[in-house]
Structure 1
Amino acid sequence: MSPVPSISISESNGLSFLNVNNEFASAKISLFGGHVLSFVPALDGKDRLWVSPHAYLNGERPIRGGIPICWPWFANDHGKEAGELPPHGFLRTQVWQLTESSEDESGTTLALTPSFTRAEGFEHDCNVVLRVHVGARLRVALETENTGVAPFSFNTALHTYFHVDHIKHTELVGITGEYKDKLDDWAVKPTPVPYTIDAETDRIHLSAVKQATISVDSTEFTDVISEGNDSLVVWNPWQGAASISDMDPFGYKHMLCVESSVTKGLKLEPGEKFELAQIIVPK
């Protein structure tokens, strides 16, 4: 389909990208992975998303940074041995198609669909649509519809990498309750106050946090609003970034993942739809 005037298409290294530019913001979306790579609000001209300078932008691997889509499982929670199936599912390595686009007084809206939704580890009938609205705020929503005759369960996440000027000057505000610590044999711990990052961090917050704020130097703020989530994941590899092939050894200093997630398993009956959304609000 022909996109609306605020959307242009570019190509690089065999990948196609959708470039959105309107009076409110600019954004870039890779059709490989249905992957939002940048969101630059006109408010201050600062990209709220982080992409690794060593990310594979040629289709060989999932893209490190931006907003990867995890579906129909999170991490290696697919019921088989780790490594038998791709981590975070199989949507983030597919080529997606732009199926709808529109623009109005609030910004530009796009709808994208993946090439397929059935693969090893998930053989159910369903439709998946990614809806992205680029305006003064960025709304990214993943809709799953059960089009079959039997219920199925799945997990999903919007694995967002936020850009921060420096992780040591960053604080998360608004997250409460307990979390499971992947780095400590899944021990359940209380959320720290103040919530700062000073070491490798991999946590699944067990409450459905609907709004958190990323504060940098107590002067720059970004609200992270979640809809449909049952948990919130916070991740930073710290010095472990040096062992990740598509990350700079010091990249951890400038990123923080805050992921709107469904990690407890969601059952979808025939005919039902479910939407997981994350809204990024610059302040």
Structure 2
Amino acid sequence: MADSVRVSESNGLTFLHVENPLASAKISLFGGHILSYIPKSDGQERLWLSPHAFLNGERPIRGGIPVCWPWFSDDHGKQKGELPSHGFLRTQVWQLTSSIEDENGTHLILTPSFSRAEGFEYDCEVTLKVSVGEHLTVNLSTENKGVVPFTFNCALHTYFHVDDIHNTELKGISGQYKDKTQNWALEDTPSPYTFSQQTDRIHLSAVKQTDVVVNGKTFTKVISNGNDSLVVWNPWQEAASISDMDPFGYKHMICVETSMTGGHDLAPGQVHELIQQVIPV
């Protein structure tokens, strides 16, 4: 194991702590879930983790970067609640299969215990590659190891920390989106893109760069690749009804999710990579 990686255990979960000259990070092996990323350039946390998040394996972790795969939300073809929302990778234990470090940071490879379960019974290999350095790079790779094609969706459901959602703006998003709060009505992206109410949108273009602007200054750049869409979510006052979220937690987070929501076909032998870079500014 790389010298910059330390392992700890708490409440039955195993955590990886990364500390190198460029940044620090914390990763839960339950869910292959990145919980924290703090660049040394300014020492400011880029991810938001709910203070009420379940860190004992009882349920998915609220905050950080949940891994959604092989479907997004409840788009699994069955009745809502019949299969786990956002798939089954975020509720299983992953393994650290590789860790190396160089002048660019610490590079980890994690693999889930299994990638075949009810709702997705195909032969494939999933890996999560995480690089912690001047910026954070997360690569969710899916390889079809079988003899038949399959279709899947996925997302890196990142919760970004902001000082105040009322003073937060997103830049770089254009085109139309589907609005879940309005029965999936098709709407045009607002400009300026600010927040004053519950937001749950699937932007239908493959947005490549989104700037998270806080108090008039760009705080974080989000670079997306391998995506067909971008999801933006903030529960607003509905946070009070979410058991693992503080009623006012919505004020300090915004989800900008690099996502594949339109159904991606993967032929035997093909590999798809969904990549998100979190770049401090």
TM-score by structure 2 length? 0.99
Name which of 176, 189, 192 aligns with 1:191: 189
Q: Percent identity?
A: 68
Structure 1: give runs of 5+ residues left out of the alignment. Answer: none
Distance 1:272 1:155 in 2: 15
Distance 1:182 1:125 in 2: 32
How big is each residue's C-alpha offset from its partner over 1:147-189, in whole Å with a ceiling of 9 and x where there is no partner?
0000000000000000000000100011011100011011111
How big is each residue's C-alpha offset from its partner over 1:67-124, in whole Å with a ceiling of 9 and x where there is no partner?
0000000000000000000000000000000001111110000000000011000000
Distance 2:81 2:228 in 1: 26
Distance 1:144 1:220 in 2: 32
- SS of 2:37's equivalent? strand
Distance 1:272 1:219 in 2: 40
Query: Per-residue deviation at 1:211?
Result: 0.2
What is the count of residue pairs matched by the alignment?
A: 281
Amino acid at match of 1:229: N
Output aligned runs, 1:71-220, within 5 Å. 71-220=69-218
Amino acid at match of 1:241: A
Name which of 56, 64, 67 aligns with 2:65: 67
Distance 1:43 1:251 in 2: 26
Amino acid at match of 1:208: A
Structure 2: give runs of 5+ residues left out of the alignment. Answer: none
How big is each residue's C-alpha offset from its partner over 1:210-264, in whole Å with a ceiling of 9 and x where there is no partner?
0000000013421000010000000000000000000000000000000000000
Distance 1:253 1:239 in 2: 9
Output aligned runs, 1:42-61, within 5 Å. 42-61=40-59
- SS of 1:165's equivalent? coil
> RMSD over aligned Cα, in angstroms?
0.5
State the match for 2:8 in structure 1: 10
TM-score by structure 1 length? 0.99
Distance 1:86 1:197 in 2: 29
Contact residue 211 and residue 218 of structure 2 kept, 8 A: no
State the match for 1:263 in structure 2: 261
State the match for 1:23 in structure 2: 21
Distance 2:136 2:240 in 1: 31
Distance 1:174 1:273 in 2: 28
Distance 2:78 2:62 in 1: 24
Distance 1:111 1:22 in 2: 17
- SS of 2:139's equivalent? strand
- SS of 1:100's equivalent? strand
Distance 2:170 2:137 in 1: 20
Amino acid at match of 1:267: D
- SS of 2:116's equivalent? coil
- SS of 1:261's equivalent? strand
Amino acid at match of 2:154: T
Distance 2:120 2:70 in 1: 7
Name segments (4+ residues, structure 1) moved above 4 Å: none
Amino acid at match of 1:196: T
Distance 1:251 1:64 in 2: 11
Distance 1:255 1:6 in 2: 28
